[in-house]
Amino acid sequence: MPKLVLLRHIKSQWNEENRFTGWMDVPLDENETYKAKELADKIFQFKIDKIYSSPLFRNKDTVSRIFEYGNKKYPIFLHLDKGKMKDWGHFVDISEDDVSVFVTEKLNERYYGKIQGENKESAMKKYGEEKVHLWRRSYKIAPPGGESLADVYKRTIPFYRKYIERDLKEGKNVLIVASHNSLRAIVKYVENISDDDIINVEIPYSGLIEYEFDDNLNLKNKKIL
């Protein structure tokens, strides 16, 4: 049965500082990068055929760091979105040492609008704890000037259907390394979680979820790794 593995990136510096990170490109928290070895041990216990990530550095760096352990190959990042990164970033694969990682903004974190970069505690004092919680976890309510989870779903799931479902139907094992809300959108779709219940779904930093499907992409099993 084909497997889908979802990995939320290793904790970033702004996560450590309790900020709304969104589309800001920040590094990983170096105190947390030791988790890469444990993640690699879990991920590479079976063959991974395709990898997808986002252009945000914390996601790509998480991919690079897990490849330092348990795998003799190294990742090459290939951009799927329109532009010169896609057009000029092509290559002829003449090596068995590299693994293609397909990169797209469709897997980026939720855009947090006016509160992007703001400390979460400060935001709760300013706007109220309940409102900030709804901005972070509800399906249809967006932060001011930003995206709701429904907005993230609209950009993430068509990509998932076009690329990842195709790979799974071909029997490939797929790894997605991405940010919290793009992964929550995928979890909502795969598990058919209601708009109301998705507010209760959280994935921890470095969190791993493994799904198994039958040949018709019916979900057969879920594991928290």
pLDDT tens digit string along 65-96?
A: 999 996 788 999 999 999 999 999 988 887 88
The more confident residue out of 161 and 97 is: 161
Domain that holds residue 105: 3-224
**Residue 154: both structure tokens together:** 């609209």
pLDDT of res. 97: 87
- Residue range 188-213: mean pLDDT, rounded: 98
Q: What is the mean pLDDT of residues 27-32?
A: 97
pLDDT digits (tens, 9 = 90+) for 178-198: 999 999 999 999 999 999 999
Give catalytic residues, as residue numbers.
Answer: 9, 109
Confidence of residue 111 (pLDDT cuts 50, 70, 90): very high
Q: How many domains does the chain have?
A: 1
Q: What is the pLDDT of residues 140-165, one digit of tens each?
A: 999 999 999 999 999 999 999 999 99
Q: Average model confidence (pLDDT) for the chain?
A: 96
7: CATH: 3.40.50.1240
Residue 73 has a pLDDT of: 87
27-50: average pLDDT: 95
Give yes or no for residue 99 having a pLDDT over 80. Answer: yes
Give pTM, 2 decimals: 0.96
